[in-house]
Amino acid sequence: MSTIRQILLGIALVGVLGLLLLVQELRVTNAEKNTGLAQKEAQTARADASRSQDNANALLQTLVNERDAQAQLRAQQDQLRQGLAKRERTIEELKRENSELRDWAAQQLPDAARRLRERPALTGADAYHQWLSGRGPMPPASNEPKQ
């Protein structure tokens, strides 16, 4: 009996070793699969980070361009203000020098020109559209032939 017992114990030991090897093989396979997935995820994360960095660089360049454009617009606005002030000074000087021009400048605008400048207080695009629609047709020009 001891020989049979030894054979059975040997077979059991070989079976347990086989199971241990199988479990270890499954662990290694699972670890390799997880490693592959982690590498793919890391590669995807690097690609996303690279795209995000490219977007950030593009936005930064856009910001720099817009700031430059704003600086140019401010400089142009300053030049226009200076030109306007110069023209206003010239007009005032001409009014002082020329009484005929001073009298002309003191006159009121004609009714047609004054109506062009009159606008109600509008709030929003709908109100502006209604105001434009409610004004009626433009009067015909007096020098055009009638058809």
Q: What is the pLDDT of residue 138?
A: 57
Q: How far apart are the C-alpha atoms of 23 and 15, rounded to whole Å?
A: 12
Q: Where are the alpha helices (DSSP H) in 107-140?
A: 111-117, 125-133
Q: What is the mean pLDDT of each run of 10 residues along the chain (147 residues)?
A: 87 93 94 93 94 96 97 96 95 86 84 77 82 66 53
Domain boundaries, the chain: 9-107
Q: What is the pLDDT of residue 114?
A: 80
Residues 6+ apart with CB under 8 A from 105: 91, 95
